[in-house]
Amino acid sequence: MASKKAQSSRKTMTIPKRVGQRDEVNYGQPAAPDFGPLARDRIPVRAMAEQDMRLLVAIDRRITGRDRSEYFRRKFEEALHESGVRVSLVAEIDRIPVGFVMARVDLGEFGHIAATAVMDTIGVDPDYRDRGVGRALLSQLLINLATLRVERILTDLNWRDRELLGFLDRCGFQTSQELGFDRAIA
């Protein structure tokens, strides 16, 4: 039998006796203002397709100032043809691709999905920043990964990329226990 002290410290749930009583939860009231539509509800996000490559390379060029066509060619091949599970996504506004996220999930042993996914690249057209495109992409990606029972997502970035670092921080990413190092040889 539990002690009286332990019993008195437990909170008891009170059931409202009448409609309108203080403890009653009214689910018919309008939602609080902080429960607005999610970014993925406002911006269509779909699976990446082969025909997206040209436009996504153009978006990346506008972001980085470099032509990374070969990198995208390899990533598209991996995402669309070599990966056991396709999770790369494209966000559209007015049916025009305005952002993308390239991620992968490996099939683990015996055909089971690995518990960790990797986000290789994320980008939003500079003309469409601050409209929730990046959040829509990440939100949909995380929902898809959770459905696959993936427990973690990893990514790598240049620690001097303050804008991306801030965005990922606001989206709940944290520093990992793993540290990556590199050193120029020549």
Look at residue 14 and tell me if it is in a domain: no
pTM: 0.71
Range of the domain at 82: 39-170
- The predicted pLDDT at position 176 comes to 79
| Residues 44-93: tens digit of each pLDDT | 999 999 899 999 999 999 999 999 999 999 988 888 887 667 789 999 99
| Residues 119-174: tens digit of each pLDDT | 999 999 999 999 999 999 999 999 999 888 888 888 888 888 888 888 988 888 88
Which among 113, 176, 111 has a CA at the least distance from the CA of 150? Answer: 113
pLDDT tops 50 at residue 6: no
Look at residue 28 and tell me if it is in a domain: no
Average pLDDT of the residues in 97-118 = 81
Look at residue 31 and tell me if it is in a domain: no
Say if residues 75 and 102 touch (Cβ distance below 8 Å): yes
Spell out a b/e string for 67-82, using b for 16 or more CB atoms within 10 Å of the CB, else e: eeeeebeebbeebbee
- The predicted pLDDT at position 35 comes to 42
Q: Is 47 exposed, middle or buried (0-12, 13-18, 19+ CB in 10 A)?
A: middle
Into how many domains does the chain fold? 1
Partner residues linked to 89 by β-bridges: 47, 101
Look at residue 121 and tell me if it is in a domain: yes
What CATH number is attached to the domain comprising 58? 3.40.630.30
Look at residue 125 and tell me if it is in a domain: yes
Say if residues 48 and 99 touch (Cβ distance below 8 Å): no
